[in-house]
Structures are given as structure tokens and as C-alpha cells.
Amino acid sequence: KRCRAWRSCVSACPYKKTYYNWSTGKSEKCLLCYPRLETGQAPACFHSCVGRIRYLGMVLYDADRIHEVAMLPDEKLVEGQRSLILDPKDPEVIRKAQANGIHDDVIEFAQRSPVYRFVKDWGLALPPHIEYRTLPMLFYVPPLLPVLGAQNDDIYGNVSKTGDVFHAFDEARVPVEYMTSLFGAGNKSVVEYSLKKLMAVRVFKRAQTVGDIPMEAALRGLKEAGSNEHEAEDIYRMTALPTFAQRFVIPPMHREEAIEAYKDPQQHKTEAGFGFIETPVRRF
């Protein structure tokens, strides 16, 4: 009969991710719009994101190794969590997933997951505050911020020490050390790897489209970042030109399988959906 899950995090949330239940007149915390997910739709904030920077997909992971990974030292946690995530195209992984009751179409959606590509294939996405060892299945791609600028003689220009189009990491507005504290648990190398690859892709595409950067230098940058032309094109298309179907790869939930354990799904459908019977009192 009262608001549920209202905590300090709700008041302090910069995104105001609260959920208002119009059926009950009660406010609740964000629940990732699970009614939308169950029907194959992206959560509302994902769907309406004007920057198109949110991706949703599933990954297969080895739950038996969670304790082992959580016991690793801080500097090894990021790579340890990545090692938990399994290749959904590996025949042995597919066989074991099927043996554990995972449906074939769920495995198919895992094979098309954008999250797997960002985290495992490309090594771009990093988990937030993994030093708490909650092993969150939520990942962020570190930002490539604008170059530092300053006004000089009524002209606002680039203050890059090298005079290049793009700045070096030590000239970024947000220090790499700070992003390391957010995403790397103190391991600076994993953050730098992600930033270097992102910058290499940016330089490569500028050399390709604008031509003011030598292609030889762009290819050399890709090689130094552990990438290549094919991967750079894939990253560009997934980050700049993705469709809804590529950004949101939501597997079928198969709710009927959970219901079958205790009741006939057809009978359950006739008995569910009432919720609260009392009509909430409105002030308007």
C-alpha cells in the first residue's frame, strides 16, 4: 500500500530512472522494463536514447568460475571477468549450453550479441568498479573526449602540443587515471588499450574520408592498437551506423518453461494479470 524500493539512489540518480506504475499509483525503482523485454522490445531508455549509445544483448558465461575470478587481485579482475564469458560459436560451449537446458534460439541470439563483440572480440567495453567484485554484466566504453582548447587573440583553437588533429591521452579533459579508477580497478593498461583502439579507428576513418592524415600512419596506428582494417570497419559500423536489430539483440524469454514446472501454461494465462484490484486515489 506504499511506494516500494524508494531509496537514496532513486533521489540521487542523475538519470531519474524511476518506474511509475500507473495501475497502482506507486513509484518503484527501474526494473529494466522487463515487460518490454519479455515481448522482445528494448527498455524505454534504450529505445529513446538520442545518442544511440546503448546496446543490449546476452552472453553465455561459466558460473562455476565466479568464485575463482572474484578472488583474483584487482589488476587481474577485468581480464578475469572476460575469461568467464564463453564463445557462443564454440561447438563445445553450444553442447554444454544445450545440456543445461538453454534453448537453441537463445544460443543463436547470444551469437549475434553486440555485448559479446564489445567486451570479448574488441576489448573496448569495461565493467564499472569491478574492484567490489560484484562482477556486473554491465559494461561501458571509455569516452574519447574533445581536444583541449583555449582562446588566444579572440581565436578559440586546439592547444594540442603536437599540433595533430586529435589529441594525446595525456591531454584529455578527463585523465586516464580517473577512468582507470572507474573501469580498470587500477589496471591502467586495459583502459589505455580501449582508448588506443578507439583512437586508431577514428584516425583510420578520417584518413579514409577526409584524407588529411596519411593512410600509412593510420594503418600503423591500427597495428599498434592491436587492430586491423576489417575490425576497424566493423567497429565503425557498430558504433556509427547500427540498426535497431543490431543494437538490441533480445532473446526470447521462454516464460512458459518456468511456468511448466508447477502449472499448465494455458491455465496460468487465464489466472494471471489482475494485480491490484483497488483503484488508486488520484489527486487530479
pTM above 0.75, yes or no: yes
Say which DSSP state 53 is in. -
Q: Is the pLDDT of residue 251 over 80?
A: yes
Mean pLDDT for 22-36 is: 70
| % of the chain surpassing 90 pLDDT | 49
Contact 207, 232 (CB under 8 A): no
Contact 247, 55 (CB under 8 A): yes
Query: How would residue 8 be classed by pLDDT, with cut points 50, 70 and 90?
Result: low
What does the pLDDT look like over 93-147, one tens digit per residue? 999 999 998 999 999 999 999 999 999 999 999 999 999 898 889 999 998 876 6
Cell of 13: 540518480
Neighbours of 94 (CB within 10 A): 20
Quote the pLDDT of residue 11.
64
Contact 61, 85 (CB under 8 A): yes
Of 131, 117, 28, 43, residue with least CA distance to 81: 131
Amino acid in position 181:
S
Of 199, 239, 234, 236, residue with least CA distance to 220: 199
Angle at which helices 215-224 and 188-209 cross, to 10°: 160
The larger pLDDT score, comparing residue 142 to residue 2, is at 142
Question: Helix H segments across 132-187?
Answer: 176-183
Burial pattern 235-254, b for ≥16 Cβ within 10 A else e, equals beebbeeeeeeebbbbbeee
What does the pLDDT look like over 55-75, one tens digit per residue? 999 999 999 999 999 999 999
* Residue 169 host element (H or E): none
Q: Is the pLDDT of residue 274 over 70?
A: no
CA atoms within 13 A on the CB side of 254: 12
Mean pLDDT for 177-187 is: 90
CATH level 3 topology of 57-249: Alpha-Beta Plaits (3.30.70)
Beta strands 155-158 and 149-152 are antiparallel
